[in-house]
Amino acid sequence: MLKLSLIVLVILAIMTVQTQKMRHAVVYLGAFSLTISFIYLLYNAPDVAIAEAIIGSTLSTILYLVALQKYKIFTVYYCLSEAEFEDQSHLTAEHLQFKKLLDKYCAKQELEPQIIYTVDATKTIIEHHPYALIVQNEPTNIKIWGHPENYKMDSLISFFDRELHFKVPIEFIQVEEVIE
């Protein structure tokens, strides 16, 4: 039983470190802490097991979730050409409708949108700037790149799929994480 618990402990530790979604990591960390509590019981240390269960599983999990809730700034880079940036021609009805929908999504998710208009290339933003989304207007559609750690991407896609009155097609691209 002890060997099985230790194997589960190692698997949970790896899953906690390797997951891309922060909320999943918190759940894995809670399970990791409960497994450690069980191992302490197997080693006949019930006082340590109870302390680990209370502090590790419950208290730290709640603190992590509160910290995730506080992480509310949603940084969106809006890529423009030099001409669009200078003459404000990007302020079309479609752009304003898209911005209104993005504000509505952020309000539902309790996020604070921070929209940054830039002339930088998408690749430059991906490599050098912290972002949640990168938006670029194309002649026929809107392209949205999502950060690899953006756990809101799935809900954003389903939100825009439900918005039937938004007529411009949106192409969502999940940026792959580059490990150097």
All structural domains of the chain with their residue ranges? 2-69, 72-174
Beta bridge partners of 133: 76, 146
Mean pLDDT of the chain: 85
Token representation of residue 32: 């990791």
Strands of 58-177, DSSP E = 73-79, 112-118, 133-137, 142-146, 170-174
The percentage of residues in the chain with a pLDDT greater than 70, rounded to a whole number, is 94
The 8-class DSSP code of residue 146 comes to E
Beta bridge partners of 134: 77, 145
Q: What is the CATH number of domain 72-174?
A: 3.40.190
CB-based contact 53:37 (threshold 8 Å): yes
Examine the pLDDT at 179 and tell me if it is beyond 60.
no
What pLDDT score does 90 carry?
A: 61
- Which of these ranges, 64-73, 79-88, 150-159, has the smallest mean pLDDT? 64-73
Nearest to 170 by CA among 109, 81, 102: 102
Residues in the chain: 180
Q: Dihedrals φ, ψ of 137, to 5°?
A: -80, 125
End-to-end Cα spacing for the chain: 39
Provide mean pLDDT across the span 112-121: 89
Q: What is the pLDDT of residues 12-53, one digit of tens each?
A: 999 988 987 777 888 898 899 999 999 999 999 999 999 998
Average pLDDT over residues 101-107: 90
For the question of whether the overall pTM of this predicted structure is more than 0.85, the answer is no
When pLDDT is cut at 50, 70 and 90, the band that residue 94 belongs to is confident
